[in-house]
Structure formats: C-alpha cells, structure tokens
Structure 1
Amino acid sequence: MAGSPKAVKGTVGTRRSSRTGHLASGQFSLAGSGSFVMRFMDTGGIVDVDRVADAFHMSKGQLAETAGLGAATVSKADRRTSPRAQTRVTEMLEIISRIREWAGGEAQAMAWYRSQPIPALDGRTPEALVKSGKAGAVRDYLDHLALGGFA
C-alpha cells in the first residue's frame, strides 16, 4: 500500500485519507469520500438531509434515528443546518463512503454501518459509535484496517 495519509479539511473539520487497503476479504478505497459526501450537499456546503434520506430509501425519522438525532432535528429546516446535525450526518456519510466499494454498494454499506459489531470497539456498531460521538474511533479503525491491520 503506497502513500501516506493526506489530510483534507471537510465542512466539519474531519480528516480524510487517500490510501487504499483491505477490509476483511474485500478491498475498499478511502479515497473519494469527499466526493461522495459532496453529492449530498447543497451549493452552500450544507448536507441536504432530504437528499440523504432519499438516497438510502429512508424516512426522515429513520435517518434521524440512524444519525442519533431527534426527529424534529431533521424535520425542521432551521435545525437541519445546526452544527450537531450536520456533523452527525456528515460523519455517517464519510464512514459509509469508506466502505461502500468493499461492501458492494451504498445500501450494503448502510447495512454494515447499522448492524455490524466491531469487536475491537467493544462490539459496538458504527452507528452506535457515531451516535455517541465516537465517529473518530470508527475512522481510526478503518485506517488501521487499510494499513493491513487485523480486525
């Protein structure tokens, strides 16, 4: 695996990597998560939760639950743009972006995100970790696997 991490500032100050690596038995790319997330942003750089919900065939309530937000947060226009709402949805999208190729697509990546316990992270799912503000732990775990580390 060539290359060193390339930090790129996102809309909420998160880092992204340009490396590629292995996850379990498949290959995934850590590059391109920015373009995936950008797909869901409006011209002002705000994640459009309606677009996210539509893309994953979810109701706004389901999206709110998946991101660890209240239903009112994604239903009311003034709350959708709050830093907390934007951060949670962006973190969810970045993690899904990192594993979508390996998982076989966006729907499968969302299924992994919502249901796959990660033994190295106390058996918690990526969804549970993001809800509790620990998206960085999931990104670090994926970075570790991309570098050839064990799950």
Structure 2
Amino acid sequence: MASAAFLSEVTGEKGVSPDRLSAALHITKSELALAAGLSRDAVSKAARSQSVVTQARLREVSEIINRVIPWAGSELAAYAWYRSQPLPSFGDATAEELVRQGLGEKVRAYLGRIAAGGFA
C-alpha cells in the first residue's frame, strides 16, 4: 500500500507543487521538468505549472513515486527506480521514459497489478 505522506508533502492547494516535489526529491526544477517530460517553463512559471497538462504529468510522477516508496525504502530510492529501472512489460523502458511519452497512466496501472499480486 502506498503512503499518503509523500503525496500530501508535494501537494498544495492548487495541485502538485513543482517546488515541493523538486525539494522532496532533492532535484532542480530543470531535472523535474526533464523527468516529467515537460518544459522548464512548465514547472517554473506559476501560470504554466497550474495547467491541466502540467498538473497531470506532475501527478503521474508523484503517484508513481509514491507507489514505489514502500518497495524501494525511501523517496530518493523510489525516484532512482523511476529513472533507471527497466520495465519488462514495456520493452525495458523506464517509468520516466514512459511518463515522458505520455504513458504515465499505463505505468500506474502496471504498478497496481504488481501491488495486487500480478505479474510484471
């Protein structure tokens, strides 16, 4: 089961906060933008960070990392998994690569299947 602590840590009144998410993962906003498949402006300008597309991507990143924290042991280890672990069901693409391609929902479904005891 995923922990709500990480999600509440990175979420503010207006959705996922790029500032909070980058701080929680100890990365820059530029690195966050790259990891989510967004432009630097999308995470650094207030008006753009609230757009539907930006919020959807940031939510996917944060929910995937949140799901992996119990298995990885920490937020930083979960982020390392997100960036580097090849997923066999997706031709060994990483979760980061899939989110950048707009396939974050498929990664979340994949993690849900694994959490329910399914196969990768």
Query: Counterparts in 2 of 1:12-27, with a 5 A limit?
Result: none
State the 1:45 CA deviation: 3.4
Stretches of 4+ aligned residues off by more than 4 angstroms: none
| 5+ long unaligned stretches in structure 2 | none
- When Rg is computed on C-alpha atoms for both structures, the one with the higher figure is 1
Q: What TM-score do you get using the length of structure 1 for normalisation? A: 0.74
Equivalent residue number for residue 26 of structure 2: 57
Query: Counterparts in 2 of 1:1-151, with a 5 A limit?
Result: 29-30=1-2, 32-33=3-4, 35-42=5-12, 44-151=13-120
State the 1:136 CA deviation: 1.6
Q: What is the distance in 1 between the residues matched to 2:23 and 2:54?
A: 17
Kept in 1: contact 2:95–2:107 (CA 8 A) = yes
Q: What is the distance in 2 between the residues matched to 1:37 and 1:147?
A: 21
Q: Percent identity?
A: 43
Count of matched residue positions in the alignment of Structure 1 and Structure 2: 120
Instruction: List per-residue Cα deviations over 1:38-72 (Å, max 9, x = no partner).
Output: 22122x23221111111111111001001110011
| 5+ long unaligned stretches in structure 1 | 1-28
Kept in 1: contact 2:14–2:50 (CA 8 A) = no
Q: What TM-score do you get using the length of structure 2 for normalisation? A: 0.92
Q: What is the distance in 2 between the residues matched to 1:134 and 1:47?
A: 18
Q: What is the distance in 2 between the residues matched to 1:45 and 1:78?
A: 11
